[in-house]
């Protein structure tokens, strides 16, 4: 069944989404970009507060295609104790210049999730290269949160092909990018491992506002109901 990834900025928000049933708690700072990074000390505090009760992911930030910088950031983030480290691939240079360095980080036991951006016209065919490099998973998101959500940039057919190709290679799959509760029903048949939310979970639908427990519970319930229907029809 497709799980709920909820992006949080603090210990307090992590506790809210934990209680509301989030399956993956994602740590990032939405005020600092698409994959804005939280301070390492705050990540460590959230790791301690969650205490292994949920899978935790954390972003390394909207970083340039600098192999040394990416490697240092990945290792520092992994050292906080999170389960997954998310790295944004903002263009071809991240593959041509940085893939070897990221593969070395994986060899050092960091579990990496590659994040591709639907509004940057990504080459969805690179999924096999990421699998070969040892990535744990791959997800689609949006870089410019003012440019429309994921479904305004890629069709359901494209999203389905992306998910299926990644799954066939044994990768964890995720879809995110200003997703709305109303889109859950259309996205569930794609069978991604998780759908990621931030804006839809916040008060007033503002990405930088506080998490609203009722909104988290509503989307979790929507995912559960839709998943049960899918299983009944299978």
Burial class (CB in 10 A: 0-12, 13-18, 19+), 192: buried
Calpha distance 186→40 (Å, rounded): 36
Calpha distance 2→225 (Å, rounded): 11
Write the CA distances from 170 to 135, 137, 228, integer angstroms: 10, 8, 24
Any catalytic annotation for residue 121?
A: no
Q: Phi, psi at residue 211, to the nearest 5°?
A: -65, 140
Write the CA distances from 66 to 72, 79, 160, 216, integer angstroms: 10, 20, 31, 36
Helix axes 11-20, 213-233, angle to 10 degrees: 40
Calpha distance 78→68 (Å, rounded): 15
Name the catalytic one among 86, 121, 145, 167. Answer: 86
Tokens of 86: 């998310």
Name the catalytic one among 28, 121, 145, 167. Answer: 28
Any catalytic annotation for residue 28?
A: yes
CA contacts within 13 A on the Cβ side of 85: 26
Return the active site residues: 28, 86
């Amino acid at each position: 069944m497709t799980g709920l990834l909820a992006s949080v900025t603090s210990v307090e928000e992590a506790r809210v989404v934990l209680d509301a049933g989030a399956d993956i708690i994602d740590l990032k700072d939405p005020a600092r970009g698409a994959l804005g990074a939280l301070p390492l000390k705050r990540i460590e505090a959230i790791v301690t507060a969650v205490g292994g009760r949920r899978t935790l992911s954390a972003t390394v930030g909207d970083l340039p295609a600098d192999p040394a910088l990416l490697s240092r950031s990945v290792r520092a983030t992994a050292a906080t104790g999170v389960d997954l480290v998310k790295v944004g691939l903002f263009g071809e240079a991240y593959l041509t210049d940085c893939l070897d360095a990221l593969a070395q980080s994986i060899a050092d036991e960091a579990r990496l999730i590659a994040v591709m951006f639907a509004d940057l016209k990504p080459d969805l065919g690179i999924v096999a290269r990421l699998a070969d490099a040892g990535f744990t998973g791959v997800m689609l998101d949006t870089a410019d949160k003012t440019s429309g959500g994921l479904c305004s940039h890629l069709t359901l057919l494209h999203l389905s092909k992306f998910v299926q190709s990644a799954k066939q290679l044994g990768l964890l799959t995720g879809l995110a990018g200003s997703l709305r509760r109303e889109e859950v029903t259309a996205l569930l048949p794609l069978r991604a491992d998780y759908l990621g939310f931030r804006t839809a979970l916040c008060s007033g639908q503002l990405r930088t506002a506080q998490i609203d427990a009722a909104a988290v519970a509503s989307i979790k319930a929507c995912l559960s109901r839709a998943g049960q229907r899918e299983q009944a029809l299978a």
